[in-house]
């Protein structure tokens, strides 16, 4: 078993020739929960999508090692097969593809690559329904097109439902708490906590401490201008909630070359 799941070294990423991530370093060990916070435009979502393999995001420098191998050599689907999962901030709606059909295709594609036999429709349905109950989801959503007409909360629960089925090694949650009411937030957090395991790691991207009240992180990092400017333990969250980011970003401006 790899002790280090993700190792980002000196990473710089651009989109359309615009540098978003600058010299970022981050190591995530098995069993750990890392949270990334930071002001709007800091590069949090870019990092999440880059790690998932979004084609238009370009690596300018640095490396990303996942379970000891080069992550950046893999396509998005290969990364999913290897256990990387992104819970999207804005899950896309796909008209005409039912949720259950999508779950079945996705689950069996990943099982195939992990040399596991495909699950038949009955087994999948049973497993999905169990997980839906835990997430307090309406089973009718299974037969609707993916995310089409779903409320904000339903979309986010659906993301966690997929995560619970695919059982990733590294789960990246991109602002999963946005748009959720208190009950939904708790249901989603319970779903995430159920997946905690010594062999897994979580990278949670959020603006607010309230999600971290339910999913307790081991580390909190502050991202600003595409780099981590401060790291701390879980006590950093309430401090940021109280003081904002100004005290960190202003200090960084002073030490950063102009």
Partner 1 sequence: MSYANNISHFEQAFKQKSKISPVDNTAWQQFKASGFENRRNEAFHYLDLNFYTFEAFNIVEHRPLVAQDIRFLPPLSHHFVFHNGYFQETIAPLAVAKPLDFSFQAVDAASNFFNPLTDTSSLITLNQSLHLGTASITIPGNTTIAHPIYIHYFTDTQTNKWMTFPKNYITVEENACAQLIECYWGQGPNSSLLNSMTHINIAKNATLEHIVYSESHPESIHLHNGTVFVAEHGVYNITRCGRNEGIERFDYAVHLQGEYSKTNAQFLDIAPHQQILDNHFCIYHNAAHTSSKTLSRSVVHRTAKRHFTGKIIVGNKAFHTRAALEDKNLLLSPHATANTRPQLEIFTDEVACKHGATVGYLDEEALFYMRARGIPENQARAMLIEAFVNPVFELLKNDFIKSQMKEPLSAAFEI
Among 47, 110, 161, 222, binds partner 1 (CB under 8 A): 110
What is the rounded CA–CA span in Å between residue 94 and residue 203? 26
Which CB, 103 or 204, lies closer to partner 1? 103
> Exposed, middle or buried, 28 (CB in 10 Å: 0-12/13-18/19+)?
buried
Which CB, 55 or 257, lies closer to partner 1? 55
Which CB, 37 or 141, lies closer to partner 1? 141
Among 3, 40, 73, 96, binds partner 1 (CB under 8 A): 96
- CB–CB of 245/222 below 8 Å? yes
Q: Which has the closest alpha carbon to 135: 174, 190, 86? A: 190
- # of chain residues touching partner 1 (CB under 8 A): 28
3-state SS, residue 222: strand
In the range 189-208, which residues lie near partner 1 by CB under 8 A? none
Among 38, 47, 66, 79, binds partner 1 (CB under 8 A): 79
In the range 48-77, which residues lie near partner 1 by CB under 8 A? 52-55, 75-77
**Strands (DSSP E) along 159-258, which ranges?**
170-174, 201-205, 219-224, 227-232
Length of the chain: 258
Residues forming the site for partner 1 (CB under 8 A): 52-55, 75-77, 79-81, 85-86, 88, 91-92, 94-97, 102, 105-106, 109-110, 113, 145, 162, 166
């Amino acid at each position: 078993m790899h002790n280090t799941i993700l190792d980002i070294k000196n990473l710089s990423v651009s989109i359309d020739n615009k540098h978003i991530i600058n010299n970022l370093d981050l190591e995530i060990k098995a069993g750990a929960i890392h949270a990334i916070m930071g002001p709007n435009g800091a590069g949090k979502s870019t990092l999440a999508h880059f790690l998932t393999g979004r084609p238009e995001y370009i690596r300018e420098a640095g490396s990303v090692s996942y379970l000891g191998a080069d992550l950046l050599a893999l396509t998005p689907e290969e990364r999913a097969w290897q256990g990387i999962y992104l819970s999207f901030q804005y899950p896309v709606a796909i008209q005409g593809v039912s949720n259950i059909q999508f779950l079945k295709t996705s689950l069996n594609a990943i099982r195939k690559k992990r040399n596991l036999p495909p699950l038949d429709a009955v087994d999948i349905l049973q497993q999905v329904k169990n997980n839906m109950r835990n997430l307090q989801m309406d089973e009718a959503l299974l037969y609707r097109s993916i995310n089409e007409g779903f409320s904000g909360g339903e979309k986010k629960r659906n993301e966690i439902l997929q995560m619970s089925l695919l059982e990733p090694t590294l789960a990246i949650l991109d602002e999963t708490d946005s748009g959720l009411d208190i009950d939904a937030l708790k249901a989603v957090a319970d779903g995430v906590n159920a997946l905690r395991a010594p062999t897994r790691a979580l990278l949670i991207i959020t603006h607010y401490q309230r999600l971290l009240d339910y999913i307790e992180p081991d580390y909190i990092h502050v991202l600003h201008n595409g780099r981590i400017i401060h790291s701390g333990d879980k006590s950093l969250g309430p401090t940021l909630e109280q003081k904002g980011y100004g005290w960190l970003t202003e200090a960084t401006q002073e030490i950063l070359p102009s």
